Chain A
């Protein structure tokens, strides 16, 4: 059974039960009150008849009239017809002596059988006959002559009728109420359990691999909370799965790129070497073959060196020590000046700026970035190494006004072997490893490389370095 059905049934049962019990208690209370009232009325009337008769007897005795059963009967007959009140609609009376009946207004013979001929002082009883209800009353009327018994039958059927009618109405109302309530309960429970269905569907879909499914229920209650937590969980799962997929893809890309980078020069080397060892070719072809063997072998050598360095860096932890920035810039200038040609290397002066860094690695980093800037062929024939201080850190920026990097490739340029323009990179002696190395060095310095680039406008690469604090300087 579904939760919604359970909920609906429970609501319906509860409503039915409480309505029935409440209604029944109400009707029962009403009925009791009405019956009491009817009884009281009947009793009042009955007693009134008794007292009236007693006083008639006394009056007659005072006048000296003899009291006989005949007199009594005529007295009874002279009584005015009972004017019915609302509840006990009809009252029938009979007067008895010990021996015989004096007067009777009973309309049914069976009524007489109901009374004990001689009872106690007062008899009081409810009887039913022919679908009607009667209240039986009997009183002794003591006269100096003899004892009479006043008996009356009071029809109280209307009280029971009223009760039955009320009950009937109650059932009707209950039926209507239950139908409405059932409808409301189904709607309500469906609404209440809808978020659960959503959650269940979402979890099934996630289990089937659709990790981007979210529930986003804003119910403002516990279900909403579950939904939020569920979404957070799904988010975490998706993130993990994505990361996993990304790392698998990156590894595949790396292996693919690595084998390509290795196989290409190997093919050339093997091919040319095979040609040279097999036959005597023309001197030009010989030179070409030897030239390619040399350059491709150099490429493999440089690739393996950089790869080893990258692998070494990823395991290494840099030992940072105070280094004057000026010294780094100078080292880069010395290394880069012979290859810079017409392009001017502009270093911002940095007297007294001492950063925490691994000197060789940082030199490599700045060198690589500036070498890249050189290769971007800046239009103003200048490349820049700049810095600015912010609290106890400095931001070092290498900038050029060269060809820039296409926006859609910015995210991938630090991947090993990634080259924006492979043939140009090859011509300029690149292997696609430079920025991978740079970002690894940056990581060892606790920073990352931030690229800003516009195609055709230029590129700037920034990273942060910790400054040597004054206390540290005092300590040394």
Chain B
């Protein structure tokens, strides 16, 4: 499990990021100003730091200077979205640059990609006896490959990324197939059933009444 530090003075956003990352299976801590962040970085070895630039105490650029000698990836999260700001951030050695307003999906994708590039995992999702490699797009159960169609793969990825949360049917459909779901379509339910069968996960993938589907936690 990767340890991530969130440095963001806006509590609302910090908690949003924390909530989303924890659901995606990361271990998170958050601080709201630069000085606290420096203390935390000193005490703990993080895999990744999400840095706001405009911070009370020390600003993000100063913290980055401080972080650079360490083996810690850094992603800037900021409202400063001009090209000059991006270039400055990346030149200073940040691994990525996310401009507000961002969507949670995008944030998680970028966190994963940065961790993967740093060789700290990120490409693999695990649930029960199944390991999914999101880069190779392959799924293995107990070390044996499972053949999934692309849609099945995407659907499984959504479930594995949001373990423990009941996903709404229309959102799931939208994320996997794109577009609006017709009210009477059975496509989603058919794919869920096929997944349950292929993985023998009849108990793990739960149907939540009037909501949708959920992959239960271990």
Contacts and interface: CB of A to CB of B under 8 A. Distances in A.
B118 to A, nearest CB: 25
A280 B166 contact: yes
Contact of B101 (A270, A275, A281, A292): A270
B171 A277 contact: yes
A452 interface: no
Given A259-B79, A264-B10, A423-B33, A270 B165 contact: no
Interface string A213-237: 0000000000000000000000000
Contact of A267 (B13, B56, B168, B211): B13
A295 B12 contact: yes
B70 interface: no
Contacts of B32: 423
B167 A279 contact: yes
Nearest to B14: A268
Interface in B63-103: 79-81, 99-103
A258 to B, nearest CB: 10
Contact of A268 (B12, B162, B165): B12
A264 B103 contact: no
A274 B101 CA distance: 13
Interface in B117-140: none
Interface string B205-216: 000100100100
B166 to A, nearest CB: 4
Interface stretch (B15-23, B37-45, B183-191): B15-23
B162 A279 contact: yes
| A-side interface size class | 20 to 34
Contacts of B20: 271, 275
Given A259-B79, A280-B208, A422-B56, A266 B168 contact: no
A271 B8 CA distance: 15
Contacts of B100: 260, 263-264, 266-267
A377 interface: no
Nearest to B210: A280
Interface in A269-286: 270-272, 274-275, 277-281, 285
Contacts of A288: 15
Contacts of B171: 277-279
Contact of B80 (A256, A274, A292, A426): A256
A280 B211 contact: yes
A423 B55 CA distance: 9
Contacts of A280: 165-168, 208, 211, 214
Contacts of A279: 162, 165-168, 171
A423 B16 contact: no
B54 interface: yes
A296 interface: yes
A12 B200 CA distance: 114
A421 interface: yes
Nearest to B104: A271
B126 to A, nearest CB: 20
A398 to B, nearest CB: 27
A280 B19 CA distance: 13
A265 B79 CA distance: 11
Interface of B: 9-10, 12-13, 15-17, 19-20, 32-33, 54, 56, 79-81, 99-105, 162, 165-168, 171, 208, 211, 214
Shortest 9 CB-CB distances between A and B: which pairs?
A280-B166, A267-B101, A279-B165, A268-B12, A260-B79, A263-B100, A263-B79, A271-B16, A266-B101
Given A268-B16, A277-B171, 15 more contacts: A256-B80, A263-B99, A263-B100, A264-B10, A267-B13, A267-B101, A271-B17, A271-B20, A275-B104, A278-B165, A279-B162, A280-B165, A280-B167, A280-B211, A426-B10
29 contacts: A260-B100, A263-B99, A264-B10, A264-B12, A264-B13, A266-B100, A267-B13, A267-B101, A268-B10, A271-B16, A271-B20, A271-B103, A271-B104, A272-B12, A272-B16, A274-B105, A275-B104, A277-B168, A277-B171, A278-B167, A278-B168, A280-B208, A285-B19, A288-B15, A292-B15, A295-B12, A422-B54, A422-B56, A423-B33
